């Protein structure tokens, strides 16, 4: 019997050695995958499984400019074990949220669930952002929450957050935010600090 290939691929790279942990992580991944598929089915957007994004059938979509992005995690599961991710807490609208500081992400992102919970205003990008994900899939988005006030490590910032179907994580702060705010990342101690200009 064994795990289905898609689940095996996702949980296999976490090198889980304990059977109960493997079963729990596999169950979480399976539930999240089903929720993600339902999201795409309900919103009418597609997650393109091919290696290259394909233009839409509508002429207005084909003429929209495109830009590329990258994110190293679409899920908070196992984030503490990954060397290139640091987890923490941030506040938006005085609500504590789970945040990943992702040096491999080109942009900063927010989950659709977080947008709904907080009632964040959503705008449309002037282009389609094609985001390369950890599984080499592409997610196309054109939604963004602009100029969002965020509180991180005792400081207040404004940030544009691109909308993505994230799981078990509310916000990902990527290189756009990290570099603009002169953040130093210490992967050994899993901490961040702000350098003064």
More reliable by pLDDT, 112 or 78? 112
- Specify the pLDDT at position 189: 80
- Whether 170 and 97 have beta carbons less than 8 Å apart is answered as yes
Return mean pLDDT, the chain. Answer: 75
**Three-state DSSP class for 96?**
strand
Asked if the 65-197 domain carries CATH number 3.40.50.1580, the reply is no
* pLDDT tens digit sequence for 129-162: 988 877 657 888 999 999 999 999 999 999 999 9
Residues 58-82 pLDDT 10s: 344 456 777 777 665 555 555 545 5
Domains in the chain: boundaries:
1-44, 65-197
pLDDT value at residue 5: 61
Beta bridge partners of 91: 96, 151
């Amino acid at each position: 019997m064994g795990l289905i290939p898609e689940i095996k691929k996702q949980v296999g790279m976490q090198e889980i050695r304990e059977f109960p942990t493997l079963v729990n992580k596999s169950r979480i991944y399976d539930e999240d995958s089903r929720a993600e598929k339902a999201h795409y089915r309900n919103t009418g957007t597609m997650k393109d499984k091919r290696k290259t994004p394909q233009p839409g059938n509508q002429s207005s979509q084909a003429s929209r400019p495109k830009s590329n992005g990258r994110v190293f995690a679409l899920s908070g599961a196992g984030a503490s074990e990954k060397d290139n991710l640091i987890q923490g807490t941030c506040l938006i609208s005085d609500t504590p949220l789970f945040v990943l500081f992702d040096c491999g992400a080109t942009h900063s992102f927010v989950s659709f669930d977080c947008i709904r919970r907080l009632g964040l205003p959503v705008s449309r990008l002037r282009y389609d952002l094609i985001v390369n994900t950890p599984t080499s899939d592409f997610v196309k988005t054109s939604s963004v929450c602009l100029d969002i006030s965020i509180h991180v490590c005792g400081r207040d910032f404004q940030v544009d957050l691109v909308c993505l179907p994230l799981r078990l994580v509310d916000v990902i702060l990527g290189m756009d935010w990290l570099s603009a705010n002169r953040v130093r990342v210490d992967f050994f101690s899993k901490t961040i600090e702000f350098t003064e200009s």
